[in-house]
Structure 1
Amino acid sequence: MIVTFTANPSLDRTVALPGPLERGEVQRAISVSQESGGKGVNVSRALVASGLQTIAVLPGGDSDPVLAGLQHDGVPFAALPIDEPLRTNVALTEPGGVTTKINEPGPVLTADQQEALIALLLERARGASWVVLAGSLPPGFPADFYATVTSRLRSGAGSGADGGVPLIAVDSSGAPLAGAVSGTSDGMSGKPDLLKPNAEELAELAAAAGFATASTADELEADPEAAAAAAAAVVRSGVGAVLATLGSKGAVLVTADGAWLATHPPVAAVSTVGAGDSSLAGYLLAHGQGAAPADCLRQAVAHGAAAASLPGSTVPAVHQTTPDAVTITALRKD
C-alpha cells in the first residue's frame, strides 16, 4: 500500500490553446478538461491507473468537486472534513507542450485542523510501504511541516509494511522542500528516504543551502553531472536518495551507492502537467517490484515521458509507458 498526503489539493483545469499564449489578447480554447489534482493526488491517480493499491489523504468537504472527482476516478481517499472549498488551479497549454500554470493559494487550516490531518495520515499509514508527502502547503502551515510529519511517522505512530516504518518520499518546492531537507531539530529523523525535486527546485536547494556550486535550472538540465553533484550533496546531508527530474532531458537518481542518468527519446509533448508526479509514481511502482535503483529510475522516466504525451493532467498506466526505450548511464557523484 502506498499512502499519499496532499495538504493543499486542487481542482486542476487545463485549457488547451490553438497557438502561443498572447498576453492582453482574447483567445479561444480548443478544449477544457479538469481532474482532481495536487501532487500526492496525482501520484495516487497514476498508481491506480497501473493497478497498485493506494489511498490519498487530504482535506476536503463532502461536496467538494475534488473529492467527487476522486470518487468518479475510483481513487480511494480519506478526507478530513473542512468547510472551506479547495482551490482551483488553471494550466494553459500551447501546441508543443509549453504550459503556463496559475495556482490559487488554497484554504487556511487552523492549528487543530493541521493536527487532525496529521492524525488521519498516521492512522492510514499503518501497514504502508511508502508514504508520499507532496505538494505545496496551505497558507499558515509551518515550513518544517513535512520534516515534522516525517519524524512522527518514524516515531512509531505509523507502522509500515510487515510492522516496520514506511519509507517516506517528499515532492515539494520552496520553503517546505527546504524544510524537508533540513529535517527536525532533533537530528536526522525528519529527513525523507526519497526527495523528488525538478531542476528548478534542485537549483534552489543548491543556492540556498550551499550544497554545491549554484547553477540555474537550465544549467542543471544541460549538465546531468552537475545535477548529480548537487543531488549527491543533498544525499550527504542525510536524505536517502534524490530523484531529480530534468524535463525533456530525463532524470538523475543519486543514492549513497551510485548515480545514474536516464534519458528517453523525444516525445511529442502535449502537456507537462503532472509529468513529475507520474515520474514519482513510476519509481514507486518499480521499487515495489524489487527493481534495482537504476531500473526504478528507468520506469520513472518512462512514466514521465508518457505523461507529457497525454492531454491535460492525464496520468499514464504502466502499459502506456516504454521503459525499454530509456537509456541508463552511470554518473560520477562528485
Structure 2
Amino acid sequence: MIVTVTPNPSVDRTLAVGRLTHGEVLRASSSWSEPSGKGVNVALALSAHGYASRAVVPVGGAEGARLETMLRARGLEYVAVPIGGEVRSNISVLEPDGTVTKVNEPGPHLTETELKALVEAAISAGERAEWLVGCGSLPVGAGSGFYAELVGAARHTPARIAVDSSGAPLAAALPAGPDLIKPNADELAEAAGHAIETLGDALTAARRLRELGAGAVLASLGPDGAVLVEENEVVHGEAYVADPRSTVGAGDALLAGFLAAGARGPEALRTALGWSAAAVRQPGTVLQADGTDPTADVTLHDRVDERRRLRRS
C-alpha cells in the first residue's frame, strides 16, 4: 500500500482550444474535469495500474464534495479530512501542440486544528503502508514546516517517506531526512543557487540535496528525462515521445512509476520514465493505463554525460 497526502487538492477543468489568443473570446472544442493535486494524481496513477493506494485529502465546500464524487467514481480509496473552507478549482487550457496554460487557485485556509487532523490521518494510514508520500503546494495557513512535521511523525510508522514539493516547504523537510524527494529542474536550480544548464549541474544540485538530508533524489528534467541519485548509484534515463499531448501530471506519473517498481535502482527509474512518457502522450492530468508497455521507448545511461546541455535551458 502506498499512501499519499495532498494538503491542497483540486478539481481540475481542462479546456481544449485550437489556439490560445490573449484578449479574445475562445470556443473550446472539448472539456473535462478530473480530481487532482499531486498526491491525488500519484494515487490515481498507481490505482489505474493495479497498485494498492490511498489518498489522504482535506475536503470542504461544493468543490470538495465534487472531488469526493470523482474519487469514488474512479474507485480510489481515500481518507477525507473535513475542513471549513472550499477545495480549490484549477483551469487548464490545452492547445493542439501540447502547450498547456494553467491557472491554479491558491486553495482554502486550513486552521491549525485542520492541519493537525490531516497529519494524524496520514500517520494513521501510514501505519499500514510501505510508503507515505507528501505532495504538492501547501494551502493558506500551513507553515513551511508541514512536510518536515509529516516526515518526523512518519518515523513512528513502518512506512518510508517521500516528499514532492518545492521552495521553503521542501527546504524545511530536508533536515528531517525524507527517504526520497522528487524535485524538477527549477527546484534543483533553487537548491543550487544557479541555473541548471547541463546534466552535470543537475547532478551537483541533487547531491547537494542529499547532503542536506534527502536519502535519494529522483529529479525530473522535462524532455531530458530524469536522473536518479542514490547513495552508491547515479543513473540518467530518457523516454522518446513522438506525439506529446500534455506535460501536466508527467512528474506525478514519474513518481508513481518509481514507487510502483520498488523505488530503487535503474529498473525503477525505467518504469518511472515509462509512466511519465505515457502521461505526456495523454491529454489529461491523471495517467490512465492503456495496456501497452510504457517502458518500450526508455533508454538508461549508467554513465552520465555531465557536459550535455539540457534542452529546457
Bin for the TM-score computed over the shorter chain: over 0.9
* Counterpart code for 1:41: V
Cα separation, 1, equivalents of 2:290 and 2:195: 34
- Distance in 2, matches of 1:320 and 1:5, equals 29
Aligned residue pairs, count: 304
The CA deviation string for residues 10-62 of structure 1, in whole angstroms up to 9 with x for no partner, is 0011111212x211122211111111000000000001001111110011038
Which secondary structure state, in structure 2, belongs to the residue aligned with residue 324 of structure 1? coil
Structure 2 residue aligned with 1:11: 11
Which residue of structure 2 aligns with residue 127 of structure 1?
Answer: 128
1:153-173 CA distance string (max 9 Å, x none): 11x2xx22xxxxx11111112
Counterparts of 1:103 and 1:62, CA distance in 2: 17
Matches of 1:319 and 1:224, distance apart in 2: 32
Determine whether 1:141 maps to 2:159: no
Provide the alpha-carbon RMSD of the alignment.
Answer: 1.7
> Alpha carbons of 1:318 and 1:176: their partners in 2 closer, same or farther (altered >3 Å)?
farther
Secondary structure in 1 matching 2:237: strand
Question: Where does residue 310 of structure 2 map in the other structure?
Answer: none
Superposition deviation, residue 8 in structure 1: 0.4
Partner of 1:112: helix, strand, or coil?
Answer: helix
What one-letter code is carried by the residue in structure 2 that aligns with 1:300? A
Aligned to 1:106: 107
1:322 Cα offset (Å):
2.4
TM-score (norm 2): 0.93
Q: Paired residue for 2:72? A: 71
Structure 1 position 59 matched with structure 2 position 58 = yes
1: CA distance, partners of 2:33 / 2:259: 25
Counterpart residue number, 1:211: none
What does 1:28-43 correspond to in 2, within 5 Å?
28-43=27-42
Residue 246 of structure 1 corresponds to which residue in structure 2?
221
CA-CA distance at 1:285 after TM superposition:
0.7
Separation in 2 of the partners of 1:130 and 1:248? Answer: 28
Specify the SS of the correspondent of 2:275.
helix
Task: State the shift of 1:193 in Å.
Answer: 0.7
Q: 1:277 to 1:321 in 2, by over 3 A?
A: farther
Q: Structure 1 139/227 Cα, relative in aligned 2: closer, same or farther at 3 Å?
A: same
Cα distance per residue 1:68-100 (max 9 Å; x no partner): 110111110001112322000111111221111
Whether 2:195 is the aligned partner of 1:215: answer yes
Distance 1:14 1:89, change over 3 A: same
> Cα offset for 1:282?
0.4
| % identical aligned pairs | 43
Question: What letter corresponds to residue 95 of structure 2 in structure 1?
Answer: E
Rounded to whole Å, the distance in 2 between the matches of 1:274 and 1:298 is 18
AA in 2 matched with 1:38: G
C-alpha distance 172-321 of structure 1, shift in aligned 2 (>3 A): farther
Q: Distance in 2 between matches of 1:120 and 1:282?
A: 24
1:14 aligned partner, one-letter code: T
Q: Pick from 186, 190, 212: which aligns with 1:237?
A: 212
Q: 5+ unaligned residues in a row in structure 2: which ranges?
A: 307-313
The match for 2:257 is 282
Q: Distance in 1 between matches of 2:189 and 2:9?
A: 25
TM-score (normalizing by structure 1): 0.87
